[in-house]
Structure 1
Amino acid sequence: MSAVIRGVASAVGIPTVITELPEDAVSPDVARQLVDRGQRLCPVADDEIPLVTESVGASLAASGLAPDEVRHILVTTETMTVSGSRAAHEQARGRLYKACADLGLGHAPVTALTFGGCGAVLSAIDYAALMVERDSTGGILVVAVGRMRDGDSRELAPAVSAIGDGVASCVVTSGGGGWTLRWLLRRAFLETAKFDHSTDFGPTLVTLGRALRSMRNEAKERGLPQQPRLVCNNYGLPTIRLFGSALSIAMDDVFVDNIPMLSHLGTPDLLINLASLPSSSREVLALATGPADCALALLERTSCDTA
């Protein structure tokens, strides 16, 4: 049986008007640019653990999977692992472990996927799919966490997006109702790390465009629906238009409804957008982009999806 994404849920911080964020988080000039690019609100939270508890609890309830049926927990994050010291790292890890144990998941090993930026969530889902193909009992819990620390800039330079706080989660099982992962493609361009993206984003943008066009051609060979919806990270509209153009998808078929309300939450974006799609969306291209790689997956909604 195919791996299925089920019980997609999320929890986000307090919606905050971008132009009212502290200047050390988003400068007034950049805030105005982001508003012009379609973003209005940026969720802000002072702690990610309550969001983890809320989102994971909702995923388990929606999927019908009991806590003792979860075999492994995959956490995809760029922020929880940025602690500044070994002691702070161990404290953050311990708080996450306690939250999982309180949810009845104390038996499940935890693995963190990081460094991949916002594209890591598709890697986590792919990894989970491989695990359930090897052992179809129970399921794998995927948790995407993004929360900025006090004093961090909330600008994704150069004025690509504001960065908010939120958590999204799902379970991956063998069969059932949800989203079936049909195929997944990846491209990496680690050499672009030599550029300062805040001042010299052009080379990376060109490389990303080439990668997307290359994946589009390979996707046709794998089996590409005639008119799929596209879900991707919640960047500003100019960046989203670039993605759609490179993949030859009209903007009317690109899901952008959450951009004004959520801005960019990092790894949770893709799952939140997937859960927000209307039930009429049956075949979806999911695009996740990181600082030096990207992944494109074809997802198909099963007829018994209730998540």
Structure 2
Amino acid sequence: MTAARTAERRITLERIESYAPERSVRIEELGEHLGLRRGDLGVFRKFYGLDRLRYDPQLPLLDLLRPAARAALAALPEDGHVDYLAYAHVTQAVAPADTDMAQLVREDLGLTGAEAFGLSHQACVSSLGAIEILGNLLRAEGREGAHALMVTGEQAYSPIVQLVPNTAIMADAAASCLVTLDGDGDVVRSFTTRTLGEYARWLELTPEQSTEYGEQYAPRIAEVIHQALAEAGLTFDEIDLVIPHNVNKLAWRQTVKELGIDQDKVFLDNVPVYSHTFAADVFLNYTTLRDAGRLTDGAHYLLVSVGLGATFGAMVITHRTPGGSR
């Protein structure tokens, strides 16, 4: 296969799966744990649209990651092999310093022949970024039958990582994508990011910087969305639905206004059900829509997420159902 032909091969998502713990709590149950007063919780409920979230501090991290990863691997063909595993996470320290979670996940899944590594510097955009990186690795290697597995998910193990002040309450969830080139799954048409490094030290921002970031939030999301659409050769009218992260409803109402689109164009039903789930919620929303029969074969969708630090990311995909359009 020529180098030019290898570079042209399309990244496809052969299987996307997600998992959330069964334990569901109302946000008020976390008030004392997070140091939130009744008025603070009222703001999260009334204005941000939060209600419940999945939270199980007793669940081991591997047990959180395993169900979605194994379900995604079920799509691996008999003659296929997993060459790479990327564990995308938001919190830099998800395990003790002497523990490499990517290696543990690889061993737990029995993928002894895969090269495993972690990614975290794009925060909640890391899972989308990992898909692009895995696709590029597969292109560089050029092996027939090669696949890669993106695994994401972590737990809100401390109030410091669970509460994003005046923005979100983080929940537990995981997701996985089985990735290959020129497969039968969803086609990745484009992926765009922009990082505003001046907000990298999130916990140390001054009130003025926080206000400034809030003012830039919606315009920067709109910017990366329009760039991703342009690179995909599509217009917003050709997008069936935006599948977003679940940061909160207020932030998305502001973004909808910036984009000048109908709010029904953005799937927000899961915000009060799951809340924000680190880098997994775009895929949690995808599987919710898919399992409800709301994804159409041949239709185009926008996956959008924002990570603290601050990275904005948008990915355009074309959905393909088994036996559907090619």
- When normalised by structure 2's length, the TM-score is 0.82
Which deviates the most, 265-274 or 126-135? 126-135
For residue 277 of structure 2, give the secondary structure of its aligned residue in structure 1.
Answer: coil
| Aligned residue number for residue 194 of structure 2 | 187
2: CA distance between counterparts of 1:190 and 1:65? 41
User: Are residue 109 (structure 1) and residue 95 (structure 2) matched?
Assistant: no
Equivalent residues of 2:189, 2:315 under 8 A apart: yes
Aligned pair count reads 298
Which deviates the most, 109-118 or 276-285? 276-285
2: CA distance between counterparts of 1:221 and 1:165? 34
Equivalent residues of 2:10, 2:181 under 8 A apart: yes
| Aligned residue number for residue 221 of structure 2 | 212
| Aligned residue number for residue 143 of structure 1 | 151
Q: CA RMSD in A?
A: 2.5
Q: Percent identity, aligned pairs only?
A: 19
1:294 deviates by 0.7
1:192 deviates by 2.5
For residue 145 of structure 1, give the secondary structure of its aligned residue in structure 2.
Answer: strand
1:252 deviates by 0.5
Match of 1:35 among 31, 45, 48: 45
User: Are residue 285 (structure 1) and residue 302 (structure 2) matched?
Assistant: yes
Q: How does 1:1-307 map to 2 (within 5 A)?
A: 1-13=9-21, 14-25=23-34, 27-28=36-37, 29-36=39-46, 37-46=48-57, 47-61=60-74, 63-65=75-77, 69-79=81-91, 81-83=93-95, 88-91=96-99, 93=100, 97-134=103-140, 135=142, 136-152=144-160, 154-158=162-166, 160-193=167-200, 196=204, 199-200=207-208, 201-219=210-228, 221-222=230-231, 223-225=233-235, 226-228=237-239, 229-277=241-289, 278-280=294-296, 282-291=299-308, 292-304=310-322
Gaps of 5+ in 2: 1-8
Q: Decide whether aligned partners of structure 1 residues 53 and 198 sit closer, same or farther in structure 2, where only a CA change above 3 A counts.
A: farther
For residue 187 of structure 2, give the secondary structure of its aligned residue in structure 1.
Answer: strand
Amino acid at match of 1:149: Y
For residue 200 of structure 2, give the secondary structure of its aligned residue in structure 1.
Answer: helix
Amino acid at match of 1:206: E
1:121 deviates by 1.3
Which deviates the most, 240-249 or 266-275? 240-249
2: CA distance between counterparts of 1:210 and 1:240? 11
Equivalent residues of 2:85, 2:102 under 8 A apart: no
- When normalised by structure 1's length, the TM-score is 0.87
1: CA distance between counterparts of 2:156 and 2:63? 15
1:77 deviates by 0.4
